[in-house]
Amino acid sequence: MNKNKSIDVVSLTQELMTCPSVTPADAGALDVLQKTLEKIGFNCHRLMFSDENTPDVDNLYARFGTDAPNFCFAGHTDVVPVGDETAWQTGPFDSVIKEGVLYGRGAADMKAAVASFAASSARFIENSGGNFKGSISLLITGDEEGPAINGTRKVLEWMEKNGEKIDNCLVGEPTNPTKMGEMVKIGRRGSFTGFLKVIGSEGHVAYPHLANNPIPHLTTLVAALSKLELDNGSEHFQASNLEFTTMDVGNTATNVIPRTASATFNIRFNTHHSLDSLEATIRSCLDQVAGECEAAYELRALKNSEPFLTEEGDFSTLVANAIENRLGQKPDLSTTGGTSDARYIKNYCPVVEFGLVGQTMHKVDECADVADIEALADIYTDILEGYFA
């Protein structure tokens, strides 16, 4: 196989990983990537975005070529905090290879994929002599693991304003549960967060008739929401689920009935619902139960993201075939798991996701097999060759 020796995917991964780019810090990661891409002919734009009550975030959009179609690789160089650093067997930003495994924060999620974007692009450009009809672009944010306010969404808005249209996008998030080639993501469930508060009145526990304890009312509302059967799933999506993540009173006294009690829940939902219809369902349930138990409540809804599905077709088939040809395994086309920045990209073009194995992402001793990183770059190269054939 003809490889461009100027970009070694493992070495570039290690160089990116030594940058402690915990959201929102860039720590030089985008500088490393920009320098690499400019050497192979990419035109790079650094995009710093700001918003109220959120940190400024640096982003990168890079493009080789000017013609359509524009194939876009999308991902992020920011990483989550390391947690208990003393629990790591190697320094979380030392990027150490031991027995064929690369250890460090960002190995799986997702600096190896970002390096593979660059390495595969360089190989394809070299193999084609730069003579192909179309463009290759990279959309890289430093805000995927954080608030996701000053990252991909704003880069896409900037691109639209500046005439930068993308035709298909591959996101490099880790998609494989246990081994390479198992899974491609063609959609994601939506996310809805609810902040529920029940309002009563405080009082002495010895005189409950002079107070209105919100805790029993809250538990009644929680029980009602927990029993909701939102749907039974669909051909591509599992059933929607509502999960409570915390219940809080904040009462430090043992002899005082509190005034308020709160609970937070998150719903991961499929295409049977929208954010608005889901909110209507939740409020209808709460209204009915609160009326029966004479509870006063408030609900604040955080509408995180809508669900989406990229219909199976030429693009998903191209990606799946490239994986099967390299690894001998036909991947499942799945919508399982959490969310990603694909939820923004799907508004602009068809998007699928394929990356490394995700078992160690966000964990102590995050790692990736070196062989898997090299295979990922090979698969991305094959996808480019098939796309521009």
Contact call for residues 335 and 309 (beta carbons, < 8 A): yes
Q: In what order do the strands lie in the sheet with 70-76?
A: 43-51, 54-64, 135-141, 70-76, 168-171, 351-353, 183-185, 332-334
- What residues are paired with 328 via a beta bridge? none
Judge whether 235 counts as a catalytic residue.
Answer: no
Residues with Cβ within 8 Å of residue 332, at least 6 apart in sequence: 182, 183, 184
CA–CA distance, 271 with 246 (Å, rounded to integer)? 26
Instruction: Give yes or no: 15 in active site.
Output: no
Beta strands (DSSP E) in the chain are 43-51, 54-64, 70-76, 96-98, 101-103, 135-141, 168-171, 183-185, 187-188, 190-199, 203-204, 241-248, 256-257, 260-269, 296-305, 308-309, 332-334, 351-353, 367-369
**Which residue is catalytic, options 15, 58, 109, 144?**
144
How many of the other CB atoms lie within 10 Å of CB of 236? 18
d(CA 111, CA 128): 26
Nearest to 23 by CA among 71, 64, 55: 55
- Residue of 26, 58, 78, 109 with catalytic role: 78
Output phi, psi for 266, to 5 deg: -130, 140
> What is the length of the chain?
389
By annotation, the residues acting in catalysis are: 78, 144
